[in-house]
Amino acid sequence: MKLLEVENLSTWFHTSKGDLKAVNGVSFDLDYGEALGMVGESGSGKTTCALSIARLLPKEGEVTGGRILLEGVDLASMTEEEIRKRRWKDVSIIFQGAMNALNPVMKVGDQIAEAILLHDKTSREEARRRTAEILEMVEIPAVRAGNYPHEFSGGMKQRTMIAMALACNPKIVIGDEPTTALDVMVQAQILNLLEKIRREYRMGFILITHDLSILGETCDRIAVMYAGKIVEMGTVKDIFEKTAHPYTQKLISCFPNIWGGKTIPEGISGAPTNMLALSPGCSFAPRCDRRRGCCEAEEPRVVQIGEKHFVTCHEASGGGCGV
Amino acid sequence: MDYKEFRFRKLKDFLHAVRNNKIALFGSVTLLFFLLVAVFGPIFVPFSTMEFGEVEDMLLPPGGEHLLGTDDMGRDVLANLISGARISLLIGITATAISMIIGCAIGIVSGYFGGRTDQLLMRLTDFFLVIPWLPLMMVLAAVLGTSIWNIIFVIGITSWPGTARVVRAQTLSVKERQFVERTISIGAGSGHIMVHHILPNVFPLVFANTVLVASVAIVSETTLSFLGLGDPNHASWGMMLHYAFECGAASAGAYWYYLPPGICVVAVVLSFTLMGYAFDVILNPKLKGR
């Protein structure tokens, strides 16, 4: 059995202007100890996808379809109370912007111990001992547990957030841009740390980011999202070397290549799709330079083009439309 | 730096700030003086406040055996003043505590849950805010009877609306911060978040507000007692003023009877108010250096 299987997940936001289909039929799976990277532009549904798995959507959001199977148990159909008890033991999140995710008037150690005490019926002493252990794991000396957040540097705060995510030995850790707002040195440190911990404890890891270069470095597989759908998914090699979807190609060409010549990276023309008015066809069609007649009218299907390589594009499904 | 050392230094910083702030220093020293008098004063006073004196001891001017003179029943004014300090401060501080607990609870619950709960609790707060508190207190005190616990209760339940509104406003801002969202995501319930995360964050505000409410509570107590609704068994400064008024001390020229309790009330209320403003400046970094 796979650790996590997401089948045809749809998450809608009920807004005053109508329903916004933030995640629209996404399917993927994740194995023990595997790292999946999710990449895409702002508003493509990466974070919503992660929040749906953790069942932490804001009150306007709703999982309207699909299943989220964690070791065979459907998280999508659980009640709020059932979820509250399982939260953090199954799926934990490393939050974006650790600077604000810590309570300024509470000691760092107490905030980690809080997560342990809320779920395990252990004594305060035991929780404190485990907090010290976890802090050491993320390379923060255990004595610093008595400090307040403002006495920590940015990198230390981010590592504290990682420690907190690991507090209850979760099966899956979701990193929602865990390294944004950190400088490159600290970024590398934190990503190495995460990789080490993931391999040691065979945890599933989902990394959400805008930064393709980070994904290539730390993930086993990559899912590229556009307008609420996974447009291409495959191993790092598949995505970077056998790129199949026009959007992925454009995304990769947006990053300067260290081996390439002195060219200005080309952008992607046009604007992101209006998620409130999705066209019946491929959402990327208006911005795609390889679009054909049927692209705007017919929705492309998911096509398997390699062992683990899937793409959602008319071009890949036999080269013609209507196939 | 060790954590305990850090805590200790913070306290030292605070005390240092108080010492440098003349207003805070004056307020704290005055209040401390009255607290010490209230706690230890009665030990040193040789006169009883309960027994009436001889006829020739009535309304003696200050000096001699009676430092501040005697009242119309021949009792020592200084002894009454000292035992009055005990009652006035006890009522003031306890009533403030009740008012703070009610105000905090309503403010936090209202701000945190929002929606219908908020509407209901805030309309209740508005209701308490607009009823004229003095007549309400008088009616309640008269109906419940004259005991200091009734007076504490009456003052406590009429002085919380201001606190509730301030706390609610601050809660609205704190609950939107990201750490609250994070705490929800680690599986904490609403009660846990309100007690462990919201309360400590609104506390500085509550603290500064407490000191101001305390002065109002003492004035309220004095008012009620002056109007004759105080507890005759526990004579506060308000009761002294009431008796002085009744026996016509003012027209008899017995200034030593009505001036001391009046001055004491003013001094205590002033010290509370000054402390409130000064602590606000010290604890609120935004007002620093202004």
In angstroms, the CA B107 to CA B161 distance is 9
Closest residue to B179, CB basis, from A85, A103, A107: A103
In angstroms, the CA B232 to CA B242 distance is 11
Task: Give tens-digit pLDDT for A147-180.
Answer: 888 888 888 888 888 888 888 888 899 988 887 7
DSSP secondary structure letters along A68-84: EEETTEESTT--HHHHH
- Whether residue A186 has pLDDT greater than 90: no
Task: Give tens-digit pLDDT for B257-287.
Answer: 788 888 999 999 999 888 888 877 776 666 5
- Whether residue A320 has pLDDT greater than 80: no
Mark yes or no for CB contact A95/B183 under 8 Å: no
B259 part of a folded domain:
no
Position with higher pLDDT, B254 vs A301: A301
- Whether residue A316 has pLDDT greater than 50: yes
Task: Give tens-digit pLDDT for A113-140.
Answer: 988 888 877 888 888 998 998 898 888 8
Exposure string of A166-197, with b = 16+ CB inside 10 Å and e = fewer, is bbbebbbbbbbbbbeebeeebbebbbebbeeb
Q: Is A66 helix (H, G, I), strand (E, B) or coil?
A: strand
Residue intervals in chain A for CATH 3.40.50.300: 4-90+170-272
pLDDT of residue A51: 87
Position with higher pLDDT, A35 vs B281: A35
* Contact predicate A28/A233, CB 8 Å: yes
Q: State the amino acid at position A269 in one-letter form.
A: S
What number of other Cβ atoms are within 10 A of residue B19's Cβ?
A: 11
Residues written for chain B? 290
B45 part of a folded domain:
no
The domain tally of chain B equals 1
Position with higher pLDDT, A322 vs B52: B52
pLDDT of residue B136: 82
Mark yes or no for CB contact A95/B182 under 8 Å: yes
The DSSP bridge partners found for residue A206 are A36, A174
* Contact predicate A61/A11, CB 8 Å: yes
Residues of A in contact with B177 (CB under 8 A): 100
Q: Is A90 helix (H, G, I), strand (E, B) or coil?
A: coil
Domain membership of residue B198 as a residue range: 20-39+74-254
CB burial of residue A209 (10 Å; 0-12, 13-18, 19+): buried
Mutation site, B5, B9, B181, B186, interface A, largest A CB count within 10 A? B186
* Contact predicate B81/B68, CB 8 Å: yes
pLDDT of residue B49: 67
Residues of A in contact with B205 (CB under 8 A): none
What number of other Cβ atoms are within 10 A of residue B129's Cβ?
A: 15
CB burial of residue B255 (10 Å; 0-12, 13-18, 19+): middle
What strand order describes the sheet that includes A18-30? A18-30, A4-15, A61-70, A73-74
Q: What is the mean pLDDT of chain A?
A: 85
Position with higher pLDDT, B145 vs A206: A206
Mutation site, B6, B8, B170, B182, interface A, largest A CB count within 10 A? B182
Q: State the amino acid at position B1 in one-letter form.
A: M
pLDDT of residue B109: 95
Q: Which of A69, A110, A65, A108 is nearest to A90 (CA)?
A: A69
Give kind and range of the element (H or E) at residue A252: helix A246-253
Fill in the DSSP letter of residue A271: -
3-state SS track over chain B: CCHHHHHHHHHHHHHHHHHHCHHHHHHHHHHHHHHHHHHHHHHHCCCCCCCCCCHHHCCCCCECCECCCECCCCCEHHHHHHHHHHHHHHHHHHHHHHHHHHHHHHHHHHHHHCHHHHHHHHHHHHHHHHCCHHHHHHHHHHHHCCCHHHHHHHHHHHCCHHHHHHHHHHHHHHCCCHHHHHHHHCCCCHHHHHHHHHHHHHHHHHHHHHHHHHHHHHHHHHHHHHCCCCCCCCCCHHHHHHHHHHCCCCCCCCHHHHHHHHHHHHHHHHHHHHHHHHHHHHHCHHHCCC
Closest residue to B179, CB basis, from A56, A88, A100: A100
Provide the CB-side half-sphere exposure for A49 (13 A, CA).
37
* Contact predicate A188/A176, CB 8 Å: no
Fill in the DSSP letter of residue A266: P
CA dihedral A266, A270, A275, A277 (to 10 degrees): -150
Cβ–Cβ pairs < 8 A, chains A and B: 64
B246 part of a folded domain:
yes
Which positions of chain B have pLDDT values less than 50?
1-3, 290
B214 part of a folded domain:
yes
Q: What share of chain A has pLDDT > 70, as a percent? A: 98
Instruction: Compare all CA atoms of chain B with the CA of A51 and give the residue at the minimum distance.
Output: B185
Position with higher pLDDT, A193 vs A318: A193
Q: What is the CATH number of domain A4-90+170-272?
A: 3.40.50.300
pLDDT of residue B167: 93
Task: Give tens-digit pLDDT for B175-223.
Answer: 888 888 888 888 888 899 999 999 988 887 887 788 888 888 888 888 8
Res. A319 pLDDT band, cuts 50 70 90:
low
pLDDT of residue B290: 45
pLDDT of residue B251: 78
* Rg of chain B (C-alpha set): 23
Res. A323 pLDDT band, cuts 50 70 90:
very low
B59 part of a folded domain:
no
Overall average pLDDT of the A195-201 stretch:
87
Overall average pLDDT of the A243-263 stretch:
81
Mark yes or no for CB contact A97/B183 under 8 Å: no
Provide the CB-side half-sphere exposure for B186 (13 A, CA).
30
B233 part of a folded domain:
yes
Mark yes or no for CB contact A114/B185 under 8 Å: no
The CATH code of the domain that includes B91 is 1.10.3720.10
